[in-house]
Amino acid sequence: MARLSTSPSSTTTKVDYHIITTAYHAAHNIPQIVSPRNLTNASTSINDSDSKSLKTPFDQAYQLYARTSHMGILDPEYKTFTSQRGHGSLLYKIHARTLVVAGDPLCSEECQIPLLEELRHFRKCHGLRVAFVGASQNFAQHLQQEGWTTLHFGHERVINPLTNKVLRNQASKRMLSQNKQLLDPKRGGISVRLYCPSVEGVDLALEAQLQNLYDEWRSERHHKQGSTVQAFVTVYGLFSYRQPTLFLYTSDRNGQLKGFAMLRALGAQTGFHIDPCIASLTAPRGITDLLITTAMQLLKAANINYLSLGFEPLGSLEEIHGQMKLQSWLWKRGYDRMIKSVPVTGKAAYFSKFYPDEALASKLFMCLPSKGVPVRESVALMQFANMNVRQLLK
């Protein structure tokens, strides 16, 4: 039987991500980023046992095949499933006795079916059903051939820093002007710094500040939302799996933290996913814009052409495969009610100001076996997306 881990945070071995090292050294070529610290400045270095330990099978699979949809690696509520036969790994949560898998399997294409077969035996032993959320188009098409139902529910927006209009000063000039004002020592007095624990070592004091800022930001957002459900939320333990991450953070003249952006390495695309990107309650306007444009400059200097901004849910389901007309209508009707019950608008307009590359955009799918009426899977998908079923029925 496959190995089951209670949380991805239990995997703490040191992984050599070449693109992280490349980005770290490229930071020296970005004038607005204060030069990365020397290793001796870290308050606590990486534990010797961590740095010398071998990579686990999950580490290896994640390093090679991670996508934006695997953002749950930093959410302690996610669990990992790793093949005993070397077929790869999965990242998932359990809702309504359904194993809801985040994104594609962490494996090569030829290992997908053997891994799913191994997963089927595991599910059978535990009485669990299965569904995938955030699957790529290629994997969805693969499952269609196996008789699965697939539903196109969203897409991923991606910036190409090497060709981006903003970095060429051909667009969003007001935002760039605001960035210069923030960085001006006599006006904004904001500085940008880089923290890369896999290269520099672990700075526990800085990490505590960053996590506290994130927790305060989440608390304030929850307070503003009130009783309104916040959909598609991933709650991060920012440092539960440090190795694939680096951080850009901003400080004022007094050294007070004003915002940060986390960049997580994506092995499948040889790029990064930027999330969260937040500002403190006392931060001047434009901090998150500054962080994203700085991340774009950093990746351009490192010759990396993939910066994912994350997912945008669609207003209605598209491309439903594997269902009869009536079932497809029911899926669309249910999704329409679900998406109208929660605030998901606003992302598209914000992302557009950074001019994502439409050629790099990709479709996202929900996938589930076609056998039987998927009542339990439907409830699990809504719970996975942080939807309250009772509120939806109202």
Residues of 359-384 as b/e, b for ≥16 C-beta within 10 angstroms?
A: ebebbbbbbbbbeeebebbbbbbbbb
Residues 179-209 pLDDT 10s: 999 999 999 999 999 999 999 999 999 999 9
The answer to whether residues 147 and 230 belong to one domain is: no
pLDDT at 72 over 80: yes
pLDDT category of residue 37 using cuts at 50, 70 and 90: low
Which CATH number belongs to the domain containing residue 167 in this structure? 3.40.630
The pLDDT of 349-371, averaged and rounded, is 91
Q: Does residue 38 fall inside a structural domain? A: yes
Q: How high is the pLDDT of residue 358?
A: 94
**Res. 386: pLDDT tops 80:** no
Lookup: tokens for 257:
């933290």
> For residue 337, how many other CB atoms are within 10 A of its CB?
13
Confidence of residue 131 (pLDDT cuts 50, 70, 90): very high
Say yes or no: 211 and 342 in one domain: no
Main-chain dihedrals φ then ψ at residue 129, nearest 5 degrees: -95, -175
Going from the C-alpha of 283 to that of each of 33, 36, 230, 290, 301, the distances in angstroms are 18, 23, 23, 12, 27
Last residue of a domain, one of 263, 285, 308: 308
**pLDDT confidence of residue 12:** 41
> 285: Cβ–Cβ under 8 A, 6 or more apart, which residues?
178
Length of the chain: 394
Average pLDDT over residues 345-362: 87
For residue 19, the model assigns a pLDDT of: 92
Q: Are residues 327 and 383 in the same domain?
A: yes
End position of a domain, from candidates 289, 308, 327: 308
Q: Is the dihedral of CA 193, 198, 201, 207 positive or negative?
A: positive
Ranges 153-157, 310-314, 389-393, most confident? 153-157
Query: Residues 103, 307, 275, CA angle at the centre, nearest 5°?
Result: 65
Shared domain for 322 and 303, answered yes or no, is no
For the stretch 225-274, pLDDT in tens is 655 555 556 789 999 999 999 999 999 999 999 999 999 999 999 999 99
Find all residues with CB under 8 Å of 158, minimum gap 6, and list them. 271, 306, 307, 308, 309, 356, 357, 360, 361, 362
* Whether residue 175 is found in the same domain as residue 238: yes
Domain total in the chain: 2
Mean pLDDT for 145-149 is 89
Q: Mark whether 369 and 250 lie in a shared domain.
A: no
Q: Is 109 in the same domain as 175?
A: no
Position 5 scores a pLDDT of 52
12 within domain boundaries:
no
103 pLDDT band, cuts 50/70/90, is very high
Q: Are the CB atoms for 99 and 298 separated by under 8 Å?
A: no
The mean pLDDT of 161-176, rounded to a whole number, is 95
User: Domain check: are 258 and 192 in the same one?
Assistant: yes
Q: Give pLDDT, residue 42.
A: 43
**Are 286 and 361 within one domain?**
no
Of the candidates 273, 308, 343, which is a domain's last residue?
308
Q: Please tell me whether residues 279 and 171 are part of one structural domain.
A: yes
For 157-180, b where at least 16 C-beta lie within 10 A, e where not — what string? bbbbbeebebbeeeebeebbebbe
Query: What does the mean pLDDT of the chain come to?
Result: 85
User: How far apart (Å, rounded) are the C-alpha atoms in residues 148 and 274?
Assistant: 31
pTM of the model: 0.88
* Residues 151 and 266 grouped into a single domain: no
Q: Omega of the bond prior to 161 within 30 degrees of 0, cis?
A: no
Range of the domain at 348: 3-7+49-155+312-393
